Amino acid sequence: MSAAARPVVNVYGEKEVVASLPLPAVFKAPIRPDIVRAVYTNVAKNKRQAYAVSVKAGHQTSAESWGTGRAVARIPRVGGGGTHRSGQAAFGNMCRGGRMFAPTKVWRRWHVRTNVNQKRFAVASALAASAVPSLVLARGHRIERIAEVPLVIADDAESLVKTKAAVTLLRAIKAYDDVKKVVASKKLRAGKGKLRNRRHTQRRGPLVVYGNDNGIVRAFRNIPGVELANVRHLNLLQLAPGGHLGRFCIWTQSAFAALDSVYADKSNYELPQHIVNVADLHRLINSDEIQSVLKAAGQAKTKRPFTQKKNPLKNAGIMKRLNPYAKVTKAQGAKAGKKAAPKKHVGASAAFVAELKSL
Amino acid sequence: MQHDDTIWAVINNNFCSYKLKTVTQNFCRNDYNVTGLCNRQSCPLANSRYATIREVDGVSYLYMKTVERAHTPAKLWERVKLSKNYTTALEQIDAELQFWPGHLKHRCKQRLTKITQYLLRMRKLKLKTNQTKLVPISKKIDRRELRREAKAEAAARLDKAIAAELVERLKAGSYDDVILNARESVWKKVLESDKVEVEEDQSESEDDEAEEYIEDEDEDEEMAEREMVEMSDFESDMEDLMDDDSDDDGASDDGRDEDESDEESDDSDDDDDEGEEEPVRPPSKKRAAPAPSKKAASKKRRGGKGGRGHVEVEYEHVGPARAMETSW
């Protein structure tokens, strides 16, 4: 599949197909989950707020060690008297009311910088993954009923103003199942986040990408789970939430058309190339180019030639297989042996036999 | 085809929402999976050319998907209805998946076999045992519903609704031929007042209405009651003494009932009413309408037993008498 042969994507109006656009090149970018995950973990750190324990925590005592000889541990103890606190241990991370081990500091490196090229690679990868229905399904979006992936809608959506109209539009393009999933998933967060203004959790719904905001943001933003993004500022945190590829994206026609130019306008930037153009191993192996230069296939199951060991010293055939020259050696040895060793007479001597006969 | 391996790499190593991991094995929760296991050959997402058997209401279908439709999720799966005959179904599978890889064909047939077997078992079970459906008790829900029922009943205010409905029916004239013992004046008053003045305080009025029906139907009993009351009701005697009204009928509730019946039967034809109401002379005292109660009550008795229209109205001290009665 060469990049030059770009399929055409249909633009959906209210009831039927309104137009068609060629697929932008981004959607053919290599899908690299490893890069996306690495970049995601970095970029996700950039919105963090500092936290730390108080600098003074655990040190607001003038405790001193009692030293040895008092039958107590040598940990610094609070001086003075008249209160429970006097004589109690202080300062150590093991002490009650002591400072923690390695008190957290605000100058921890909260934000991580990532190379621009890597960030762009990740975004391109995420976009490419959003065009693969299997990945979008695997991520958990309910897209079984939508007409096409990537899903592009007509530009009238950009001038929508009422949320009600937005919901009708989503229903018409069968994307509302995803919103229903979000609504059904709203639960109380497990853990202390409940008390820290992060009370509820819910799934993510579709991401609507627009070219020009003529009201679309306000129309869609109150629908649970739906997020908006301008084509020119695509966010990896939205395209691959959690570092998982395959967010369900709904494009407006102008956004889809603008994608190519967005990437063209980036100075000194070329979309990432595939390392291997044809990733499908099966297809490669069975292609004509490769099959034509292969040897003929052997038997599927080769017969084992011999499974029983036979003694070469007794079995001439085996000896021949092992050492074909053995025959020759043996023959030579036989000839030489014949002259050297006369045949021994076995049995009684001639004199005795004569004597026997004479009896 | 192009993406299959990449897809599988992503799904298997990263995240798949259909994957179900257990200690020994991985399962796939995707509806279209032939085997139910999560592996490279069985993943419907990672194989662009795939076939399954699915059963809906006892009918098996063969689903197929091909690369050409991979980008249109709505039309991805092509469905073929399989015959209910097992052998024919197998042949159908063979025909449809003729040029498909052998292992997929095999898996489809295996799945069809399993499906057929369990359907068979289901049918046998149905014949065998009496299929008593076990319904679990959900205490939480039952408790909740009970409480809600009680609240709803209280909120519905059935008595008021019933009263309103009855008056509506009266106005509509459905009781024209039934109620005959009403006074026209009383009748009209009720009709003019648009709402039914059912006062909570005076619960007797509701009782009256209820009682009235009983009386309408069973005149005899009413007669009997009255008689008994007359004899045993000392209060009424007292009242007689007090009010200087020689009233032997101390049963003021009877009188009240008659009032109600008066009012109600006003709706009926004037002719009928007049004919029957003639014997009723004394002014009736109404409970519902705030008409001035007249102390003077005549001794007018109901003439005969049979006449439904005969109403005796005897009132005395309505308020105190009633109070005394209730304080028994």
Query: What DSSP letter does each residue of A286-333 carry, written as one string?
Result: TSHHHHTTSPPP--SSPPPS--S---TTT-HHHHHHH-TTHHHHHHHH
CA of A300, closest CA in chain B: separation in Å?
17
Which chain B residue is nearest to residue A283, measuring alpha carbons? B1
**How do residues B130-186 score in pLDDT, each as one tens digit?**
778 889 999 999 999 999 999 999 998 898 899 889 888 888 888 777 776 767 777
Which chain B residue is nearest to residue A242, measuring alpha carbons? B15
Would an 8 Å CB–CB cutoff place A280 in contact with chain B?
yes
Would an 8 Å CB–CB cutoff place A120 in contact with chain B?
no
Integer Cα distance of A45 and A26 in angstroms = 26
Highest mean pLDDT among A2-11, B95-104, B280-289: B95-104
Residue A128: predicted pLDDT: 96
Q: What is the pLDDT averaged over residues A164-177?
A: 96
H or E stretch including B242?
helix B234-243
Look at residues A25, A10, A251, A56 and name the one whose alpha carbon lies nearest to residue B75. A10
> For residue B86, which amino acid is it?
Y
Class level of CATH domain A11-48+112-269? alpha beta
User: Are A137 and B17 inside 8 Å of each other by CB?
Assistant: yes
**DSSP letter string over A65-122?**
E--SSSSS--SEE----SSTTTT-B-SSTTSTTPPPSS---TTS-------HHHHHHH
Question: Beta strand pairing status for A200-201 and A151-153?
Answer: unpaired
User: Are A138 and B15 inside 8 Å of each other by CB?
Assistant: yes
In the numeric block, which tokens belong to residue A36? 């996306």
Would an 8 Å CB–CB cutoff place B45 in contact with chain A?
yes
To the nearest 10°, the Cα dihedral for B288, B290, B293, B299? -30
The residues spanned by each domain of chain A are 11-48+112-269
The yes-or-no verdict on residue B49 having pLDDT over 60 is yes
For residue A325, how many other CB atoms are within 10 A of its CB?
8
Would an 8 Å CB–CB cutoff place A86 in contact with chain B?
no
Backbone angles phi, psi at A125, to 5 degrees: -60, -45
Residue B312: predicted pLDDT: 64
Q: What is the pLDDT averaged over residues A65-82?
A: 91
Residue B25: predicted pLDDT: 94
Would an 8 Å CB–CB cutoff place A146 in contact with chain B?
yes
Do B284 and B298 form a contact (C-beta atoms < 8 A)? no
**SS3 at position B169:** helix
Q: What is the pLDDT averaged over residues B115-140?
A: 90
Which chain B residue is nearest to residue A140, measuring alpha carbons? B17
User: Are B71 and A283 inside 8 Å of each other by CB?
Assistant: no
Integer Cα distance of B196 and B193 in angstroms = 7
Q: What percent of chain A has pLDDT over 70?
A: 97
Question: What is the CATH architecture of B48-129?
Answer: 2-Layer Sandwich (3.30)
Q: How confident is the model at residue A41 (pLDDT cuts 50, 70, 90)?
A: very high
Would an 8 Å CB–CB cutoff place B15 in contact with chain A?
yes
Among the residues of chain A, which ranges form H helices? 33-43, 116-130, 133-139, 163-172, 176-184, 216-220, 236-239, 253-265, 281-285, 288-291, 316-322, 326-340, 350-358
Q: What is the pLDDT averaged over residues A281-306?
A: 90
Sign of the Cα pseudo-torsion (A253, A256, A260, A262, in order): positive
The yes-or-no verdict on residue B257 having pLDDT over 60 is no
Q: How far is CA B37 from the centre of its chain?
A: 47
Q: How confident is the model at residue A298 (pLDDT cuts 50, 70, 90)?
A: confident
Among A304-318, A336-350, B215-229, the range scoring the smallest mean pLDDT is: B215-229
Do B255 and B249 form a contact (C-beta atoms < 8 A)? yes
Mean pLDDT of the residues in chain B: 73
Which chain B residue is nearest to residue A280, measuring alpha carbons? B2
Which chain A residue is nearest to residue B77, measuring alpha carbons? A144
Q: Name the residue among A139, A144, A146 with its Cβ closest to that of B17.
A: A139
Q: How confident is the model at residue B69 (pLDDT cuts 50, 70, 90)?
A: very high
What are the chain B neighbours of A283 within 8 Å (beta carbons)? 1-2
Mean pLDDT of the residues in chain A: 92
**How do residues A94-115 score in pLDDT, each as one tens digit?**
999 999 999 999 999 999 999 9
Among A149-153, A348-352, B123-127, B211-215, the range scoring the smallest mean pLDDT is: B211-215
Integer Cα distance of B10 and B320 in angstroms = 90
Among A311-320, A333-342, B108-117, B252-261, the range scoring the smallest mean pLDDT is: B252-261
Residue B219: predicted pLDDT: 47
User: Are B4 and A280 inside 8 Å of each other by CB?
Assistant: yes
Would an 8 Å CB–CB cutoff place A148 in contact with chain B?
yes
Q: What percent of chain A has pLDDT over 90?
A: 79
Would an 8 Å CB–CB cutoff place B328 in contact with chain A?
no
Q: Name the residue among A33, A143, A144 with its Cβ closest to that of B10.
A: A33
The yes-or-no verdict on residue B77 having pLDDT over 80 is yes
Long-range contacts of B273-279 (CB under 8 A, 24+ apart): B273/B180, B273/B182, B273/B183, B273/B184, B273/B309, B275/B309, B276/B180, B276/B181, B276/B307, B276/B308, B276/B309, B276/B310, B277/B181, B277/B182, B277/B183, B277/B184, B277/B309, B277/B311, B279/B303, B279/B307, B279/B310
Q: What angle do CA B176, B177, B179 make, to 5 degrees?
A: 75
User: Are B45 and A138 inside 8 Å of each other by CB?
Assistant: yes
Which chain A residue is nearest to residue B18, measuring alpha carbons? A138
Integer Cα distance of B29 and B42 in angstroms = 11
Q: How confident is the model at residue B29 (pLDDT cuts 50, 70, 90)?
A: very high
Integer Cα distance of A8 and A131 in angstroms = 13
Q: How far is CA A8 from the centre of its chain?
A: 29
Q: Name the residue among B1, B2, B18 with its Cβ closest to that of A138.
A: B18
Do A126 and A146 form a contact (C-beta atoms < 8 A)? no
The yes-or-no verdict on residue A58 having pLDDT over 70 is yes
Q: How confident is the model at residue A326 (pLDDT cuts 50, 70, 90)?
A: very high
Return all residues near A206 (Cβ < 8 A) that are at least 6 apart.
A141, A170, A175, A178, A179, A225, A226, A227, A248, A249, A250
Q: How far is CA B114 from the centre of its chain?
A: 44
Residue A272: predicted pLDDT: 95
Would an 8 Å CB–CB cutoff place A165 in contact with chain B?
no
Residue A110: predicted pLDDT: 97
- Give the single-character DSSP code of B35: S
Look at residues A41, A57, A54, A49 and name the one whose alpha carbon lies nearest to residue A196. A49
What are the chain B neighbours of A282 within 8 Å (beta carbons)? 1
Do B247 and B240 form a contact (C-beta atoms < 8 A)? yes
Residue B238: predicted pLDDT: 52
The yes-or-no verdict on residue A296 having pLDDT over 60 is yes
CA of A224, closest CA in chain B: separation in Å?
21
The yes-or-no verdict on residue B260 having pLDDT over 80 is no
Q: What angle do CA A189, A123, B3 make, to 5 degrees?
A: 95
CA of A96, closest CA in chain B: separation in Å?
42
Sign of the Cα pseudo-torsion (A30, A32, A35, A37, in order): positive
What pTM does this model have? 0.66
User: Are B1 and A283 inside 8 Å of each other by CB?
Assistant: yes
| Contact residues, A window 11-30, toward B, CB-based 8 Å cutoff | none
Q: How confident is the model at residue B195 (pLDDT cuts 50, 70, 90)?
A: low
The upper half-sphere exposure of residue A57, i.e. CA atoms within 13 Å in the direction of its Cβ, equals 15
What are the chain B neighbours of A244 within 8 Å (beta carbons)? 14-15
Which chain B residue is nearest to residue A2, measuring alpha carbons? B2
Would an 8 Å CB–CB cutoff place A278 in contact with chain B?
yes
Integer Cα distance of A37 and A211 in angstroms = 27
The yes-or-no verdict on residue B289 having pLDDT over 90 is no
Backbone angles phi, psi at A207, to 5 degrees: -105, 120
* ipTM rounded to 2 decimals: 0.79
Beta bridge partners of A64: A77
Q: How confident is the model at residue A306 (pLDDT cuts 50, 70, 90)?
A: confident
The yes-or-no verdict on residue B305 having pLDDT over 60 is no
**How do residues A193-221 score in pLDDT, each as one tens digit?**
999 999 999 999 999 999 999 999 999 99
Q: How confident is the model at residue A1 (pLDDT cuts 50, 70, 90)?
A: very low
Among A204-213, A281-290, A339-348, B33-42, the range scoring the smallest mean pLDDT is: A339-348
The residues spanned by each domain of chain B are 1-47, 48-129
Residue B313: predicted pLDDT: 67
Would an 8 Å CB–CB cutoff place B240 in contact with chain A?
no
Size of interface A-B (CB pairs under 8 A): 76
